[in-house]
Amino acid sequence: MISLSFTVFKYTVTIIHAEKLRDSSLYNGPHGVEEKSMLEILVKCNPADLTTFRKKSPDIFSDDECCFEKWDPFHMKFLQIEFLRFQVPRAVIQRTMHPWERDALLVRKSLEEKPPLYNLLIELACTRTSDEFLGARKAFQCLYSESVEEFVAVRVDGFQRRAFGSTCKYGYQGKRIDEAVIKLECHKLGRAIKTNQKNEIENDDEVLRILTTRSKHHLQTIHKCYKEAYDSNLEEILDKAMIVCPSEQEKEALTRVIVTRTDADMKDIAAEFHRKYGAPLIERIEAAALGNYRDFLVALVKRGMAN
């Protein structure tokens, strides 16, 4: 068992830093793996390094028919059992996992929880690019022999089903916008907000269409237009109007966002967090987390902000 544990992490830490591995004594006999050194090395791996790791570790990852390297279920389960005392097995798995497989697992988790984590489902659809989410949909089909759309449709209804169905389509991601359309949709949002009761905004078809089908750049421009036209922040109004699911565990959400967005838009997330809450994200993490878990998340945030 101990040797197998060492084998799992030996591959994790030797791809880029073989010399450092030989000097760092990661294997501590009956105590297994030296966690701090492993995490320090994992933080330094960029997406290309992690792809190399997966491809060069056929005993841990297998090539799937959908062209991504899939975690072997036995090794994943073993990792979770072996390190029950270790606070971040989920973070390590998510960090090394192929993004398509990771997001496919998160989609399934979002609706298998009791109660369902609708916010997680919408988060995935909204924060991934069209290509990234298309990959997750391919991975989901390969892993579970059904489509994401089928899985969601039989478990979700109402606003959540319509919002997810619209958002997960392959949409335009570029920066081209039409100023006339921006102004028109800005005023449509304004009228919907003014005429509807707050708890009915989510059921307005025009609001749903604009928020779920337009590109990020388009929505940012609408936000600016709305603020100029109505002297108020659109995001604050929508935050109060939309139903929020409170069931998601904070530590799990913190781990997921940092691990999955480190190499994507962590700089923007940290800046927005500071603007909204008046404190640096790193300081909040240091106050809320402990030990190697805290150090790993802080190091990932620093890496993301430096990119």
Mean pLDDT, the chain, as a whole number? 78
For helices 216-230 and 205-213, what crossing angle results, to 10°? 130
- Cβ burial of 244 (10 Å; 0-12, 13-18, 19+) is exposed
Question: What's the whole-number mean pLDDT along residues 288-298?
Answer: 86
C-alpha angle 43-85-31 in degrees, rounded to nearest 5: 85
**Residue 41: enclosing H or E segment and its boundaries?**
helix 35-44
Beta-ladder partners of 71: 61
* The token pair that represents 288 in the structure block: 């809320």
Q: Where are the beta strands (DSSP E) in the chain?
A: 61-63, 69-71
Element (H, E) at 74: helix 73-82
In eight-state DSSP terms, residue 67 is S
Distances (CA, A) of 51 to 16, 23, 59, 61, 91: 12, 24, 15, 11, 17
Give the tens place of pLDDT for each residue, 216-266: 889 989 989 988 888 776 666 665 554 444 334 567 788 888 999 999 999
Strand partners, 63: 69
Cα(168)–Cα(125) distance, rounded to whole angstroms? 5
Question: pLDDT of 124-173, one tens digit each?
Answer: 888 898 899 999 999 999 999 999 989 998 888 877 777 777 777 778 88
Measured CA distances, 2 to 29, 107, 271 (Å): 8, 33, 42
Q: Residue 70 gets which letter from DSSP?
A: E
Is the dihedral angle over the CA atoms 249, 264, 77, 298 positive or is it negative? negative
At 78, is the pLDDT very low, low, confident or very high (cuts 50, 70, 90)?
confident
Q: Quick one: which of 202, 196, 192, 194 has its CA closest to 166?
A: 202
Which pLDDT value is given to residue 249?
Answer: 59
**Nearest partner of 136 among 91, 102, 96, judged by Cα:** 102
> Does residue 5 contact residue 82 with C-beta atoms inside 8 Å?
yes
Q: 3-state class of 18 per DSSP? A: helix
Percent of the chain residues past pLDDT 70, beyond the cut: 77
Q: Burial code of 12-31, b = ≥16 C-beta within 10 A, e = fewer?
A: bbbbbbeeebeebebbeeee
Range 103-118 average pLDDT: 89
Residue 270: what pLDDT? 92
Does this model's pTM top 0.85? My answer is no
pLDDT band at 44 (very low <50, low <70, confident <90, very high): confident
